[in-house]
């Protein structure tokens, strides 16, 4: 059995994309490959074929491997609900919501399911490519660690450390990581990779040699910036592109607990459409055609956040001007009259007044709906495929005008004037025919693009990029 772990000298150094590209490169060499991340923290989640949820990055890596996503690929998922607390998902199922200071006490009990999931993948595949979380240099978190060196030690997996030169200080990132690690952990690191280089990589030859000399680690190459990275789903909200394209404006509100924001990815390549991710403090443009309120991990909290930006006033003005509004999942709940949480599932018990643009009321319930969904869009009668990942149920008169139907049952709601829409369906814009029809209904240009084929082509291009610039054969030898 072969396995290799990619860790980062810091957060957001490009581990997820690097693992996705390596997955595709190894698969093209004839290996059966699976991705694995022991612990992830992200509100961008995917529903798995076995009915659970994992980080969206692991779903992309599974796609790169030609596999359906499984809960074993990301056995511990932390979904932040506030500044100090997260929902804890273990092997696809929510088990608790804990404050950050209490998570350390929970971690030791999580190593068993982590290793159980890893060993199941090991038994089924030639190679498991493991992604760390954050950085092993956060040695204050080493006790009970399941994400980086604690896992590498328990599973006996060699480690390659990735540094991000685009941020600057990459020599200090890598040499400094070795300096603060315990000698036993430092010895588990067998090599390093420089990521996100812009310009002529030969200009860094001296720095590259210095890192190798100071650490004793083998260098596996310098990877230039991959310009098509924006075509693949981002995992971290920090990676959200502020605006893409030119033409008619589709505006998405970047909520403080935004979730499943890759719903918008298929729109970004549409000609004649400008997708704007609106950041806090920015007004909604008066010439927007469509405003999207996306999913949220804290619906009531993000309603307060939305109002603090003045977006509630902007939305009402946008609607008065004849503009369209689409709420997805938590955004759908916000569009209603009220969001009730009597049991305090997402925070303190209570209720919050909604935006009042849809005549529905949402009540949070303990059960979470996790399912892949095939639906029929009512306006176009076209099939769309997506997934549901939410708590809460929405009911009210506007449900008599559903956005879609699922197995003959109404899904979502539409206002009486037809200009405000809500749906629990994530991933809906990945359905090509539906996306084109939806845009045409808005009076926007649309093409019959094959979004899935574009993602596959980008993964192939990423694998080519990695094969060109990194010592892939050396990494395979290390995995063995």
CA separation (Å) from 231 to 46, 261, 316?
Answer: 17, 13, 32
In this structure, the dihedral spanned by the alpha carbons of residues 272, 447, 381 and 324, taken in order and rounded to 10 degrees, is -10
Percentage of the chain lying above the pLDDT 90 cut: 83
Q: What are phi and psi of 478, to 5 degrees?
A: -65, -40
Q: Which domains does the chain have, with CATH numbers?
A: 2-225+457-479 (3.40.50.300), 238-449 (3.40.50.880)
b/e code 139-160 from CB counts within 10 Å (16+ = b): eebeeebbbbbbbbebbebbbb
Phi and psi torsions of 2, nearest 5°: -115, 140
pLDDT at 247 over 90: no
pLDDT of 272 reads: 86
Query: Which pLDDT value is given to residue 98?
Result: 85
Starting at the edge strand that comes first in sequence, how are the strands of the sheet with 273-278 ordered?
243-244, 273-278, 248-253, 288-293, 324-328, 420-423, 413-414
Q: pLDDT band for 81, please (50, 70, 90 cuts).
A: confident
Structural contact between residues 69 and 275, judged by C-beta atoms closer than 8 angstroms: no
The 8-class DSSP code of residue 84 comes to S
Q: How many helices (H) and strands (E) does the chain have?
A: 14, 27
pLDDT of residue 452: 94
pLDDT tops 80 at residue 82: no
**Contact indicator for 21, 462 with CB cutoff of 8 Å:** yes
Chain centre distance of CA 52: 15
Which carries the bigger pLDDT value, residue 335 or residue 202? Answer: 335
Q: Tell me the average pLDDT across 280-293.
A: 97
Q: What's residue 320's pLDDT?
A: 97
Asked if pLDDT for residue 243 goes beyond 80, the answer is: no
Both tokens of 87, joined, read 């929902």
For tokens 């549409």, what's the residue?
Answer: 270
pLDDT score recorded for residue 102: 83
Q: Is the Cα dihedral 304, 310, 314, 317 positive or negative? A: positive
Longest dimension (CA), the chain: 70
In this structure, of 85-89, 138-142, 181-185, 223-227, the range with the lowest mean pLDDT score is 85-89
Mean pLDDT along residues 286-304:
96
For 270-288, what is the mean pLDDT?
94
Say if residues 31 and 126 touch (Cβ distance below 8 Å).
yes
Q: What is the average pLDDT value for the chain, to the nearest integer? A: 94
Catalytic residues: 329, 426
Q: What percentage of the chain exceeds 70 in pLDDT?
A: 98
Q: Report the pLDDT value the prediction gives residue 439, as an integer from 0 to 100.
A: 95
Give residue-wise pLDDT tens across range 102-134: 888 888 899 999 999 999 999 999 999 999 999
- Band of residue 346 on the pLDDT scale cut at 50, 70, 90: confident
Q: Is pLDDT above 80 for 424?
A: yes
Contact 158, 149 (CB under 8 A): no
Tell me the two tokens of residue 341: 């949480």
3-class DSSP state of 461? helix
269 pLDDT tier (thresholds 50, 70, 90):
confident
Instruction: Give the pLDDT mean for 142-150.
Output: 95
User: Would you tell me how many other CB atoms lie within 10 Å of the CB of residue 367?
Assistant: 10
pLDDT interval class at 348 (50, 70, 90): confident
């Amino acid at each position: 059995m072969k396995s290799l772990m990619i860790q980062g000298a810091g957060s957001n150094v490009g581990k997820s994309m690097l693992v996705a590209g390596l997955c595709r490169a190894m698969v093209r060499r004839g290996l059966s490959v699976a991705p694995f991340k022991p612990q992830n923290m992200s509100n961008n989640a995917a529903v798995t074929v076995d009915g659970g949820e994992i980080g969206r990055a692991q779903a992309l890596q599974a796609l790169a491997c030609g596999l359906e996503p499984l809960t074993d690929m990301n056995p511990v998922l932390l979904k932040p609900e506030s500044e100090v607390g997260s929902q804890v998902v273990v092997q696809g199922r929510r088990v608790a919501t804990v404050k950050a200071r209490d998570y350390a006490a929970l971690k030791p009990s999580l190593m068993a399911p982590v290793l159980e999931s890893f060993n199941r993948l090991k038994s089924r595949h030639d190679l498991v490519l493991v992604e760390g979380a954050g950085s092993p240099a956060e040695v204050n978190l080493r006790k009970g660690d399941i994400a980086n060196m604690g896992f590498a030690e328990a599973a006996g997996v060699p480690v390659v450390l990735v540094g991000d030169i685009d941020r600057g200080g990459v020599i200090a990132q890598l040499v400094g990581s070795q300096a603060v690690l315990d000698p036993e952990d430092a010895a588990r690191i067998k090599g390093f990779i420089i990521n996100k280089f812009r310009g002529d990589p030969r200009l860094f030859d001296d720095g590259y040699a210095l890192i190798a000399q100071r650490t004793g680690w083998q260098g596996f190459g310098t990877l230039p910036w991959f310009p098509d990275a924006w075509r693949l789903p981002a995992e971290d909200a920090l990676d959200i592109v502020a605006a893409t394209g030119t033409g008619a404006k589709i505006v998405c509100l970047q909520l403080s607990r935004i979730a499943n924001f890759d719903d918008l990815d298929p729109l970004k390549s549409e000609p004649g459409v400008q997708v704007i991710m609106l950041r806090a403090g920015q007004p909604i443009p008066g010439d927007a055609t469509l405003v999207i309120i996306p999913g949220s991990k804290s619906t009531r909290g993000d309603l307060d956040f939305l109002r603090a930006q003045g977006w509630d006033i902007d939305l009402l003005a946008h609607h008065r001007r004849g503009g369209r509004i689409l709420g997805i999942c938590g955004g759908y709940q916000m569009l209603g009259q009220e969001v009730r949480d009597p049991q305090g599932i997402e925070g303190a018990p209570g209720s919050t007044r909604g935006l009042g643009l849809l005549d529905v009321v949402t009540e949070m319930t303990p059960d979470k709906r996790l399912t892949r969904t095939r639906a029929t869009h009512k306006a176009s009668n076209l099939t769309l495929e997506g997934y549901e990942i939410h708590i809460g149920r929405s009911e009210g008169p506007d449900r008599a005008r559903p956005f879609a139907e699922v197995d003959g049952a109404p899904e979502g709601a539409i206002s009486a004037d037809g200009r405000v829409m809500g749906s629990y369906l994530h991933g809906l814009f990945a359905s090509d025919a539906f996306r084109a029809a939806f845009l045409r209904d808005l009076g926007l240009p649309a093409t019959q693009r094959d979004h899935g084929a574009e993602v596959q082509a980008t993964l192939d291009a990423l694998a080519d990029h990695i094969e060109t610039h990194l010592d892939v054969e050396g990494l395979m030898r290390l995995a063995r």
